[in-house]
Amino acid sequence: MSRRLLAVSVSAAAVVLHAGPAVTALPPVRRHLPALNGAGRPGTVALTLDDGPDPRSTPHFLRSLARLGIPATFFVLGGMAARSPGLLRRIHEEGHEIGVHGWTHRSHLRMSPGRVHGELARTAELILGACGAPPRWFRPPYGVLSAGSLVAAARLGLRPVLWSAWGRDWEAGATTATVLAHLRAGGIRGGATLLLHDSDCAAVPGSWGSALGALTSIVGDGERQGLRFARMSDHLRWGERRPGVPDAGPPPGTAAKVTSADRG
Ligand SMILES: [Zn+2]
């Protein structure tokens, strides 16, 4: 972790310690910590999907993303991935990036620092086994970072990232229209990181359908602005910030596929 990133992590930890629970999920905090809210290149948008991989729903998202020709970043739960290792590999092989969400979906505020570290390490190891490269990104359940989360992420070489706009697709009564309205209110614009879920394992049963239904319109919004959808490492210029770290993206064949399908 660079000195700059470390400084961001330390200041974020200070905010968490002094401002109380769930603070990092609040929009004002995310706006003032640009490294956390996923503010990326002005010409790209990052679509992120949390809580999978889920054999009931994730394949629908993969088919839709392939049809639309865009890459996404999946923040996976180790406990889900362990039950569907083939699906985890498929996400990688189809050109998407995979980040760490946790092993369980418990809030880090309710776990000891040792338990948090163990969960993140175990999930990162699973991703390494499936992708052949370690994950780079970490997003905690509920977007809630504890001081223990930040220490564990730093030790594991994971960079915390939240989002700039969400669809609130996990809510009871969410529809494609409400998901789109929430995302547009937060901003489907250059530099944005969008949050949706490809599993309902921590939400209202069936809620992923509203997120899936919104994908085509989200991509349409981006295309009208001449934006390109990018994996998190491309969106946040990981290579430029960490020149010594080799690209741990998708296999060469799929990388070419995604590049040629990118819009804008
Ligand atoms: Zn989640």
Q: How far is the CA of 121 from the centre of ligand 1 (A)?
A: 17
Q: Which of 92, 101, 117, 197 is catalytic?
A: 197
Q: Tally the C-alpha atoms within 13 A of residue 109's C-alpha that lie toward its C-beta.
A: 14
Q: What gap in Å lies between CA 71 and CA 68, rounded to an integer? A: 9
* Token pair belonging to 171: 């809510």
Amino acid 33: pLDDT: 53
pLDDT digits 0-9 by tens, 149-202:
999 999 999 999 999 999 999 999 999 999 999 999 999 999 999 999 999 999
Q: How far is the CA of 210 from the centre of ligand 1 (A)?
A: 16
Q: How far is the CA of 141 from the centre of ligand 1 (A)?
A: 5
Q: How far is the CA of 117 from the centre of ligand 1 (A)?
A: 17
Q: How far is the CA of 98 from the centre of ligand 1 (A)?
A: 14
Residue found by looking up tokens 């639309």 in the block: 68
CATH number at residue 236: 3.20.20.370
- Print the domain residue range for 193: 3-261
Q: Is 197 a catalytic residue?
A: yes
Q: Is 50 a catalytic residue?
A: yes
Amino acid 237: pLDDT: 79
Overall number of domains in the chain = 1
Q: How far is the CA of 227 from the centre of ligand 1 (A)?
A: 26
Q: How far is the CA of 108 from the centre of ligand 1 (A)?
A: 12
Amino acid 88: pLDDT: 97
Amino acid 36: pLDDT: 82
Handedness of CA 230, 4, 138, 164 (dihedral sign): negative
Total count of residues recorded for the chain: 264
Q: How far is the CA of 51 from the centre of ligand 1 (A)?
A: 5
Q: How far is the CA of 105 from the centre of ligand 1 (A)?
A: 6
* CB-based contact 219:68 (threshold 8 Å): yes
Residue ranges with CB less than 5 Å from ion ligand 1: 50-51, 141
* CB-based contact 182:171 (threshold 8 Å): no
Amino acid 24: pLDDT: 57
Amino acid 27: pLDDT: 55
DSSP code for 181 = H
Q: What gap in Å lies between CA 14 and CA 10, rounded to an integer? A: 6
Amino acid 38: pLDDT: 82
Taking 70 as the pLDDT cut, the residues of the chain under it are 1-35, 238-264
Q: Which of 50, 54, 169, 200 is catalytic?
A: 50
* CB-based contact 158:120 (threshold 8 Å): yes
